[in-house]
Amino acid sequence: MTHTDSASARADDENTELIPSFPQARTCPYAPPDTLLRLAGQAPLSRVRLYDGREVWLVTGYAQARALLADPRVSADRTNPDFPIVAPRLKAAHARKVPLIGVDAPEHDAHRRLLNPTFALKRVQATRPRVEAVVGELLDRLVEHGPPADLVRGLAVPLPSILTAELLGVPLDDIEFFQDATERTMNSTDADGLQRAAVELQQYMVRQAVEQEREPGPGLIGTLAGHVREGTISRAEMVQILYVLLIAGHETTSGSIALGIVTLLEHPEQWAQLRADPTLAPTVVEELLRFVAVTDTAGLRVLTDDIELDGIRLSKGDGLLLSASLVNRDPTVHENPHSFDIHRASRRHLAFGHGVHQCVGQHLARLELEVVFEALPRRFPDLRLAVPVDRLPFRGVDLGPVQSLLELPVIW
């Protein structure tokens, strides 16, 4: 090797060392890692390195993220060989073919049209009494149990489990199975473990699909079973769609409830304001969605053509990581973006994505969160953490795209 070659090699090594790894563990449950915050402060697009050494683009600018998510040259197709894989577990076959969130038009659009009526705003709002009843029942159980109690097991996990099961139209007796199988799917650290749990859930959905093709029930399974009979979709497509809805509807809402509670309790003056005025709940929810952003690694995309953005050339085959937790803290959009402010009252966040892949269940998620944060301070005005926040068992980035807590011990 010549002197010039040696110097070049050292420079390449130094440049590689300057590129941070992704994802990184949070040191605070409701804040992005410091290294990535610093990176976001330098530029709206930066290079990061995945576990396998691949370098991809990390998008942290709000305007840039919206532009890319709306660009037809930006693909969500997880079967694309260039699609970025952020953890070994996501090499599982089940994670490579994902309806709705992991496919492009026309397949995505066809599936979305089947679901839109179920998740329409008016239809979701009509379920508020039922959501309030379920939240009330769960809080009653916590009162009966007495402190200390775990709000993950007592509220954050069962609420979306019950409501998602009812939405799908499966027996409530199966909720414990859902919770267990979903937890094993999300918490598997390797592809084989994830695949086994996913297959178990999908086999259950197949049995439900077959049964309701013969005798449709009142839920979404019955609705989709009708489309199977008509030949609009296959049974396999139906099962995959239900699986995605089950995981997405359960995990993101559960994580948002748990981390939202921690965030409020760590800002006691704002908890007191919400306690005094529960009508603040809708604006509290929007600020929690912006500030906490539980899906650090969900915004994955791949370019199907070259794009130039802000003078930077992005090439076909490049991987993109659109981090909601960083995008939502863009100082060009939010004043004092790293401050939690329940009076901010801004929906300018990408917690539910943007463009054609914007979350189909966002109205239901908002409703569940609003009801929780209306009821919780009223029923438990003296709620507080039973352990210091740095001792809370946090589910890290190695266990999947949704950030959450494994336990949330509280007293009152």
pLDDT digits (tens, 9 = 90+) for 140-175: 999 999 999 999 999 999 999 899 889 998 877 887
Q: Per the domain annotation, does 2 fall within a domain?
A: no
pLDDT score recorded for residue 17? 57
pLDDT grade for 90, boundaries at 50, 70 and 90: confident
Whichever domain contains 333, its CATH number is: 1.10.630.10
C-alpha to C-alpha distance for 185 and 84, rounded to whole angstroms: 20
Q: Per the domain annotation, does 178 fall within a domain?
A: yes
- Tally Cβ neighbours within 10 Å of residue 38: 11
pLDDT score recorded for residue 58? 96
* Domain with 87 in it: 56-411
User: 102 near 76, Cβ under 8 Å?
Assistant: yes
pTM of the model: 0.91
C-alpha to C-alpha distance for 179 and 95, rounded to whole angstroms: 19
Q: Per the domain annotation, does 225 fall within a domain?
A: yes
Q: Which residue has the higher pLDDT, 210 or 45?
A: 45
**pLDDT, averaged across the chain:** 88
pLDDT score recorded for residue 372? 98
Contacts (Cβ under 8 Å, ≥6 apart) of 223: 114, 118, 216
User: 74 near 303, Cβ under 8 Å?
Assistant: yes
The single-letter DSSP state of residue 394 is E
Q: Per the domain annotation, does 29 fall within a domain?
A: no
Q: Per the domain annotation, does 200 fall within a domain?
A: yes
Note the pLDDT tens digit of each residue in 325-384: 899 999 999 999 999 999 997 889 999 999 999 999 999 999 999 999 999 999 999 999
Is residue 298 pLDDT above 90, yes or no?
A: no
pLDDT score recorded for residue 327? 95
Work out the average pLDDT over 61-77.
96
Please give the backbone phi and psi of residue 339, each rounded to the nearest 5 degrees, phi first: -100, 135
User: 404 near 165, Cβ under 8 Å?
Assistant: no
Q: Per the domain annotation, does 288 fall within a domain?
A: yes
From the centroid of its chain, how far is CA 4? 48
pLDDT score recorded for residue 11? 35
Q: Which 3 state secondary structure label does DSSP give 33?
A: coil
C-alpha to C-alpha distance for 337 and 350, rounded to whole angstroms: 14
Q: How many separate domains does the chain show?
A: 1
Is residue 405 pLDDT above 60, yes or no?
A: yes
Q: Per the domain annotation, does 99 fall within a domain?
A: yes
C-alpha to C-alpha distance for 214 and 137, rounded to whole angstroms: 34
Angle, helices 158-168/220-230, rounded to nearest 10 degrees: 40
Q: Per the domain annotation, does 357 fall within a domain?
A: yes
Q: Phi-psi region for residue 178, left (φ > 0), alpha (ψ -120 to 50) or beta?
A: alpha
